[in-house]
Structure 1
Amino acid sequence: MIYPLPAVLVSCGTLQHPNAITIAWTGTICSKPPMCYISVRPERYSHHLIKETGDFVINLCDESMLEMLDWCGIHSGRKVDKFKEMNLSALRAVKVEAPLVKEALINIECKVKEIKTLGSHDMFIAEIVQVHSDRSLVDEKGKFQPLKAKWFVYNHDLYQTVGPEIGEYGFTHHLRKNSGE
């Protein structure tokens, strides 16, 4: 398996009947158009809700929300109202039926384009249709500052923090290979 992975809170259902599920099988799969995926077991309550509405929201949480995120991953929305139990606030999304989680630092509204049955999980391939970011993650010039948050990842049954920056994309551009290129 490939680790670490982001651990995210996916909200689904409707504003009137929200649900949330913890997902680690997620990521970006295309930039134009912006596309992502989540993989969910068919027996999960959220699987049914996402198929029904055709959308979901990926909510990125920081360390302060870790306990809530873990709790939402081990309890079923069939049996408990996770928003009520975890004191989460459901906000109306702009372009999807699924609610935003107010407490999350980033909310990514997604519309399902395709569902791939793969085995233990179904992969929901979705277009990102709207993104919301907490103002604390944007500088005075409007530039996104991801290192201002205390992010964490899922690493084979463990949660770990994300460390300091160690390089910037393209920092090796000045290096040449000895292959004659």
Structure 2
Amino acid sequence: MKKQNFKGSVMLNPTPAVIITSKNKENKVNAFTVGWISTVCTKPPIIAIGIRPERLSYEYIKESGECVVNLPTREMVKFLDYCGVTSGRKINKIKHFGYKLNEGVSIETPSLELSPVALECKLKSITPLGSHHLFLLDVINIKVDEAIIDEKGKICFNKANLICYNHGEYFGINQKPLGSFGYSIKKKNKKQVK
């Protein structure tokens, strides 16, 4: 396979595309899009997001010490894009789209009702890096739509119609998995062995 070299850049794709809700002391709620997000620890559950200091949500999260990571669906893709290109200083994006909010359970910040999964987070730290600052967030509660939980209590993300971001474009996630964690080393059933 012949390859070309490019200068160092952010080429990790695809990434989750999420909508962060945050609020300030005056109870003004903002929503904005984040494409730079990752799980960084499982015990305790911590995620990392990159935010530009000039963003309104940067101020809100720093001030309140909390936020919600809302996983958007295919139906929310226009809102997701709008929240990434429109400033909350100029328009109430949630009101503009007519979206409803759900009260927080473990924090004061609300989540988007339409989002099938919402991670309630407390701010752990902020580290300046350059164009973006690294926010480490403790995940303290997760709200999951009952429609994507099966009878055994398993969260079926394939039923959530989630999306991802890939170098400037949004894509739906395939509904059928290619495999499951550990499938490459599982022993085959004796009946399958010939």
Per the shorter chain, which TM-score range? over 0.9
Which of 100, 105, 117 does residue 94 from structure 1 map onto?
105
1:130 aligns with 141
- Give the conservation status (yes or no) of the 8 Å contact 1:21–1:46: yes
* Per-residue Cα deviation, 1:98-136 (whole angstroms, up to 9, x for no partner): 211111111100001111111100111010000000111
1:149 aligns with 2:160: yes
8 Å Cα contact 1:18/1:90 also seen in 2: no
Alignment of 1:85 with 2:110, yes or no, is: no
- C-alpha RMSD over aligned residues: 1.3
Q: Provide the residue aligned with 1:115 in structure 2.
A: 126
Find the structure with the greater CA-based Rg. Answer: 2
TM-score (norm 2): 0.87
Match of 1:72 in 2: 83
Equivalent AA in structure 2 for residue 93 of structure 1 = G
Percent of paired sites with the same residue? 37
State the partner residue of 1:140: 151
Output the CA distance in 2 between the equivalents of 1:98 and 1:173: 43
- With normalisation by structure 1, the TM-score equals 0.93
Correspondence 1:3 to 2:16:
no
1:46 to 57, 61, 76: 57
Is it true that 1:165 corresponds to 2:177 in the alignment? yes
Aligned to 1:20: 31
